[in-house]
Amino acid sequence: MRIGMGYDVHRLTEDRELILGGVEIPFEKGLLGHSDADVLLHAIMDALLGASALGDIGKHFPDTDPAYKGISSILLLEHVGQLLEAEGIKIGNIDATIIAQRPKLAPYIMNMRENIAKALNIDIQQINVKATTEEGLGFTGGGLGIASSAICLVEKEKGDHE
């Protein structure tokens, strides 16, 4: 068994949709980034890639590649799931936290979990997503950005050669 940890942060900006966990959330600002800037999925992907010793999302989806401009992070997460499957790696569980002063995210968490489970072809019970504020402190507390962290457990399947 192996554990991976991921972290991502993006600045909030005008004229962008706010996408978290593949869910469009009504809000006056969105996250600035090359893709859809979904910090939750980016943290989850980095946790999975790290636990699997497969690098990080910058290696697989560089922000210098126009192919990823505006791309849905759900599509990127599906690709990460395929990479893990090709390596014979099974996901045990994922636990993630979104750090945002606003908006309130509780009404959207079940949809986020469903999107993640579908993208990775795992059971929704293997995924936990929670949200917290920073009580007005720091860049997230001041409404300048949103961050997310994730941790996961993976296990490589035993092959005939092991």
Q: Which of helix, strand or coil describes residue 39?
A: helix
Tally the residues of the chain. Answer: 162
Tell whether 8 is in a known binding site: yes
Dihedral, CA atoms, 136, 138, 140, 145, nearest 10 degrees?
140
Tell whether 61 is in a known binding site: yes
Tell whether 160 is in a known binding site: no
Tell whether 27 is in a known binding site: no
Tell whether 60 is in a known binding site: no
Tell whether 138 is in a known binding site: no
Tell whether 42 is in a known binding site: yes
Tell whether 135 is in a known binding site: yes
Tell whether 15 is in a known binding site: no
| Distance of alpha carbon 42 from alpha carbon 34, whole angstroms | 12
Tell whether 63 is in a known binding site: yes
Tell whether 56 is in a known binding site: yes
- Residue written as tokens 């945002």? 100
Q: What is the 3-state secondary structure (H, E, C) of 56-121?
A: CHHHHCCCCCHHHCCCCHHHHHHHHHHHHHHCCEEEEEEEEEEECCCCCCHHHHHHHHHHHHHHHC
Residues of the binding site for a divalent metal cation: 8, 10, 42
Residues of the binding site: 8-10, 34-35, 42, 56-58, 61-65, 132-135, 139
